[in-house]
Structure 1
Amino acid sequence: MADQLEQLVAETPQGNVRSPKPKIEDFTEYGEDGKKVVNIAGYQDSLTDWLEQEKEIINSPDYVKANTQTLRAVRKLFFEHRNLFLSTPKEDGNAPKSLSPLDTARIIYKTLKVIKLDNQSGLLGVYNPELGIYETNENFFHRLIYWLEPSYSQARSKEVLFKLETLAEVKQQTAEAHLIPVANGIFNKKTQNLEPFSPSYVFTSTIATKYNAKAKAPNINGWNIDDWLNDLMSGDKELVKLLWQVISASTNGNYSYRKGVWLVGKGNDGKGTFQSLIMNLIGRENVASVKAEQFSERFSLSQVVGKTCI
């Protein structure tokens, strides 16, 4: 029996074995006279052991990787970190009532990938595992901060951002014309394969459409896109090729061709429909509408950050 028990323990992955947090009641006894006796030293030793075990588990690389694949999992992991922090006594023996901005920043930094983009004036970015991109939207950061410490004011939340800026490492944005972040991974145009999301790629924008290797060009009651584009360009093959190049370039906001496209013509000639095609392919939330004169306005350009197409 003892041998079987030892084998069972040996086969159990110890990293996944988690004991409940010690309770003071478990170290409380009552004498024959009814007087309550609390084993403070025993409780503190047990709590210290539990804290060390929890720290080792939730900070282990495998555990962090397994619990940062979705934002829901990230929120749960943040809850575990917060619970652990608020359970750890300070030097005076009392447990903290909230996380400090520095502690909050440290937890976010060691849990998620946080970087500064050197080609965007040190813009702060945090990896979103569900989209496979680095979010630069400040509101996304505030949401993460709220999950860790909901008592923060806006000023305290901004203080966390300041701390993160000092912790974050500067990274070069991935600017490869053949790598396209799509809704279900990264499409490699060279290999024609779909690769999994990876924080090693520094993308800041994506498209809403999934890559489907088995997809075929739609034919809707005799209508198909090839004939439609051919009709728009009056059979000019070079112009049709140009439209396909525009569509292709529009799907990768992480690579700049340093060119713009202007659709000029009379009304009812397909310009709006062509724009709608691109917007639906990319996702309207990934498109920014900016007028030509607004490109010289600093505050107007803030809306193009993280967008795939302008």
Structure 2
Amino acid sequence: MNTNANQTIIVPLDMDTAIQYATEDYISSLDLTQEYSIDELKTGVLESIHSKFDEHNVISEKGNKWSYPKSLPNACVADLIRFQHDVKSISWNGKKDEYNYIAVYQESGEQEGIYVGNDAYFSKLIRQYKYGATRNDIDEVKSILMADSEFVTPNSNRDLIAVNNGIFDYRTKKLMPFSPDYVFTAKSRVNYVPNAVNPHYTMHDGLDWDVDTWFETLSDDPEVTQLLWEVVGAIIRPHVRWDKIVCFYSQKGMNGKGTLCELMKQLCGEGTYASIPFDAFERDFKLVDLVTATAVITDENGTTDFTRSPATLKALTTGDDAMIDRKYRDPIKIKFSGLILECINSLPRISDTTDSLYRRFLIVPFEKTFQGVERKYIKSDYLHRQEVLEYVLCKVLNTDYYTLSEPVACQEMLDEYKEYNDPVRAFWNDIKDDLAWDFYPNDFLFDLFSAWADRHKMGRNNCQATFLKTLENIVPDDGWMRMKKKTRITKKRNGKPEFLIREYHLDDWTYKGYVGSNHDLLYCPTFNKANYYGFIRCGVAFEEDEEQ
């Protein structure tokens, strides 16, 4: 409005600005100490808009007058949601970008204390303000909220754990009230009850059952039993960098691992964990549940599941950035720090055979079987009871550990797995103690590996270059190294008979033309070249002029 001594000139607003001013005027007039229903807010904003439109229409000519909106504009819906709720733009990777996740803090109800932002929630919320909202309307409201809301990152304090009735501080062992200042998107659905008591039940056969005693029946190895308790605790402590893929392994049925998984699922609660088998980690749209999940608990993997390129699995295990594709939606980039637990009936085939992946695996053998003494009600009833879950939660939170122990049985299983998953490693472990020479040409080792693989029906998927690179990473632990320069064949290094030539019928490497009676000399070949690329036993002396 411009005013001089003679007249007042009213400058008309455009429609969007009028709606903005009307909404801001109405919201600023509200008493923040009072609660308002959605209907009150909708009516108030619409009346304020009507008033602004009336001001415009009074000074406008016919044809330029505005019609009242029949429902709230999307921008008004976003403003009212931000007025009534604590809305945050959550970044999983610490960056303010297109991968952020818009979510609303829940003051009460089943979701109390956490931020919720899934599509179903926003559709329901927005339609309370605008009943006829279309998919495009919902997307636009979310986009406005994303642009205007405070940018935050989820809680990363490893000691703060969201349980059903508050935030448990693992360091102080105290339960704190929920607060929107602590950004959680999931929580355990079990209450923390200090000093919870281990409940006992009389089973159908008259015997006593309690969860502590039941745990002891899962393994005869006390180290494994202790580890199983640690895994249960790790499942609900997603902000600790466990850096492990835990595999419950047994080829037998009725071994208890599925029942233990059920306990952990109940401890987390529906929607707090995701079930993702090994072969799904590299498939489109299969990881969307990880956006809000705090753990992966998969109680079934196919016996032929094979992750050919485990890049995503490694990234999720180590807390690196991982891209989550969503069907018909924009992707989200996250850092997942929860524990990954997979139940397997056979060891998984994974193309990555490096120690950087192997050291992530913690394979837990389940060697017991409950065939003939199975009690299904333990899984379907006892482990669902609130008092059992409250006791387990109290027990695992009143501990003090930040890494998972590695029992001898698990270390032995990992060694077995390395050989199973990597034919080159299995080959090396089989022949390394029988090696007679101190230097082996690359061509000889590959021919030996090919013959060994044929005998053991392992297949020969490795080309020579891949074989040599894999072997190079394996042999240093056993005192060998790959030479980067050509090395001379000498009598000192290669003068002994190599009986692996005979065992694996490597005829191309025998002593050509030998007709004497000492058959051992057949396995002291006359090499075609004086110098070869190859592998040498560490500590073997050699002259500088022997390298070229």
Same fold at TM > 0.5: yes
The match for 1:282 among 261, 268, 278 is 268
Q: Which amino acid aligns with 1:80?
A: E
Say if 1:170 and 1:78 are closer, same or farther in 2 by CA, change over 3 A.
same
Report the TM-score, using the length of structure 2 for normalisation: 0.42
Report the counterpart of residue 37 of structure 2 in structure 1. 77
Report the counterpart of residue 74 of structure 2 in structure 1. 101
Q: Which runs of 4+ in 1 moved over 4 A?
A: 51-55
Q: Which amino acid aligns with 1:91?
A: K
The match for 2:283 among 284, 294, 297 is 297
Question: Structure 1, residues 133-172: CA drift from partner, whole Å, max 9, x if none?
Answer: 1113122112111111112112111111111111122211
Secondary structure in structure 2 of the residue aligned to 1:261: strand
Q: Which amino acid aligns with 2:245?
A: G
Distance 1:150 1:141 in 2: 12
Question: Structure 1, residues 83-135: CA drift from partner, whole Å, max 9, x if none?
Answer: 21122124331754321111111111232122222225312222122321111
Unpaired stretches in structure 2, ≥5 consecutive residues: 1-23, 55-66, 94-98, 203-207, 297-548
Give the C-alpha shift of residue 260 in structure 1. 1.9
Give the C-alpha shift of residue 52 in structure 1. 7.4
Say if 1:202 and 1:256 are closer, same or farther in 2 by CA, change over 3 A.
farther
Give the C-alpha shift of residue 55 in structure 1. 5.0
Secondary structure in structure 2 of the residue aligned to 1:124: strand
Report the counterpart of residue 231 of structure 2 in structure 1. 246
Query: Which has the higher mean CA deviation after the structures are superposed, 119-128 or 172-181?
Result: 119-128
Question: Structure 1, residues 206-243: CA drift from partner, whole Å, max 9, x if none?
Answer: 1111111242112223222222222212141x222211
Contact 1:247 1:278 in 2 (8 A): yes
Report the counterpart of residue 225 of structure 1 in structure 2. 211
Q: Which amino acid aligns with 1:284?
A: E
Question: Structure 1, residues 21-73: CA drift from partner, whole Å, max 9, x if none?
Answer: xxxxxxxxxxxxxxxxxxxxxxxxxxxxxx97985334x1x33xxx5xxxxxx
The structure richer in strand per residue is: 2
Match runs of 1:40-55 below 5 Å: none
Contact 2:105 2:116 in 1 (8 A): yes
Distance 1:54 1:172 in 2: 28
The structure richer in helix per residue is: 1
Say if 1:173 and 1:54 are closer, same or farther in 2 by CA, change over 3 A.
closer
Distance 1:223 1:289 in 2: 29
Distance 1:92 1:136 in 2: 34
The match for 1:149 among 119, 130, 133 is 130
Distance 1:123 1:53 in 2: 29
Distance 1:272 1:90 in 2: 64
Secondary structure in structure 2 of the residue aligned to 1:202: coil
Corresponding residue pairs, total:
246
Q: Which amino acid aligns with 1:247?
A: V
Report the counterpart of residue 324 of structure 2 in structure 1. none
Q: Which amino acid aligns with 2:167?
A: I
The match for 2:53 among 92, 102, 123 is 92
Contact 2:273 2:295 in 1 (8 A): yes
Distance 2:292 2:72 in 1: 30
Give the C-alpha shift of residue 255 in structure 1. 5.0
Report the TM-score, using the length of structure 1 for normalisation: 0.72
Of structures 1 and 2, the larger Rg is shown by 2
Distance 2:104 2:38 in 1: 15
Distance 2:212 2:231 in 1: 15
Query: Which has the higher mean CA deviation after the structures are superposed, 84-93 or 147-156?
Result: 84-93
Say if 1:53 and 1:118 are closer, same or farther in 2 by CA, change over 3 A.
closer
Report the counterpart of residue 259 of structure 2 in structure 1. 273
Match runs of 1:102-251 below 5 Å: 102-120=75-93, 121-130=99-108, 131-221=112-202, 222-236=208-222, 238-251=223-236
Say if 1:104 and 1:214 are closer, same or farther in 2 by CA, change over 3 A.
same
Identity of aligned residues (%): 28
Distance 1:205 1:256 in 2: 17
Contact 1:207 1:308 in 2 (8 A): no
Contact 2:26 2:44 in 1 (8 A): no
Distance 2:141 2:89 in 1: 15
